[in-house]
Amino acid sequence: MPARADAITDVRGIQVGQHSDARRPTGCSVVLAQGPDDGGAVAGADVRGAAPGTRETDLLDPANLVQQVHAVLLSGGSAWGLDAAAGVMRWLEEHGRGLPVGSAPGQRVPIVPAAVLFDLHVGDARIRPGAEAGYAACQAASGAPPAQGNVGAGAGAVVGKLFGMACAMKGGIGTASVRVGEVTVGALIAVNALGDVVDPDTGAPIAGARTPDGRALRHSVRALLAGEAPQAILAGSNTTIGVIATDAPLSKARAQRLAGAGHDGLARAIRPVHTMSDGDTLFALSTGHAPAIDFNVLCAMAGEAVARACVHAVRAARGLRVDDVWLPSASDLQAP
């Protein structure tokens, strides 16, 4: 069942901040994590898309040294957006949070994994999130339910681009949470997929590629299987990225497996998913504020939270005009 606010911030030890650039639709979202000892969170990552843009994912390998991270950044701006992580690090350093690296007080290095999505086709590509945007997102962080739709990393997100931008629709960022007993799992997902977003229960498309007249959804997979040819697609020009968080205690190996289970949710809500033109990446965080729970239950919770967050992202999105191209939202298409 959904947790209190049906948001990732229902997870104890999690705060979210977002920054949207007023000059064009782009931005970044940061998830701050604190464990019961005021340290960071145990973390893992799973990259399934063929064109990822990431930072510090190797560090999250269970065989590697560092055990905790202090924040995760999701950003627009393609590879340029990774610059925003420097601002997140600066904010964390100013607040005394990071990996101790020396005997002197304050000698800490904040650990900030990050992933980016491609939104450079939406407005002036020279405008993208940098360190200032990451810092501003941290300043805005709180335990309140984060805004959804056209904000943060979802500001410039677009879905359903298999048959060209003229037939695509507005994506966005969404959140959801699931609670079983004393344990909560939440997800924050920025949906910028090449494919369609579908209802996980029925498979019916909610937002994605439209028919040539723009009035109805095309059912991308059905169209491909019927022989319709997709347009030439720039590699990496899409990508769904996100964070799964739980207050159950996990090892690094289990956190990595939880991130992998979250991709079950992407596969339920996005079709096609994990394509050669997507860099789909999920992080998992464990804050350890709750008791342990059966890991198979936790994985089921993660898949459910991710799938519902994807749906929330497109349902909360608002239509956007880019030059002479109109990118309607799911609600626009349903309107009379």
Q: What is the pLDDT of residue 105?
A: 66
Confidence band of 60 (pLDDT split at 50, 70, 90): very high
Q: What is the pLDDT of residue 38?
A: 75
- Global pTM value: 0.96
- Stretch 244-264: mean pLDDT: 97
**Could you state, in order of their start, the residue ranges of all structural domains in the chain?**
8-334
- Stretch 201-221: mean pLDDT: 93
Q: What is the pLDDT of residue 270?
A: 97
Task: Report the C-alpha gap between 283 and 33 in whole angstroms.
Answer: 12
Q: What is the pLDDT of residue 3?
A: 64
Q: What is the pLDDT of residue 262?
A: 97
Nearest to 52 by CA among 196, 228, 214, 241: 241
- Report the sign of the C-alpha dihedral through residues 52, 57, 58, 62, in that order: negative
336 pLDDT higher than 60: no
CA separation, residue 180 to residues 1, 235, 250 (Å): 7, 39, 16
327 pLDDT higher than 90: yes
CATH of segment(s) 8-334: 3.60.70.12
Structure tokens at 108: 């800490």
Q: What is the pLDDT of residue 1?
A: 61
Angle at 56 between CA 55 and CA 62, to 5 degrees: 145
Bridge partner residues of 44 (DSSP): 284
Q: What is the pLDDT of residues 127-170, one digit of tens each?
A: 999 999 999 999 999 999 999 999 999 999 999 999 999 999 99
Q: What is the pLDDT of residue 101?
A: 84
Question: 182, 291 in Cβ contact below 8 A?
Answer: yes
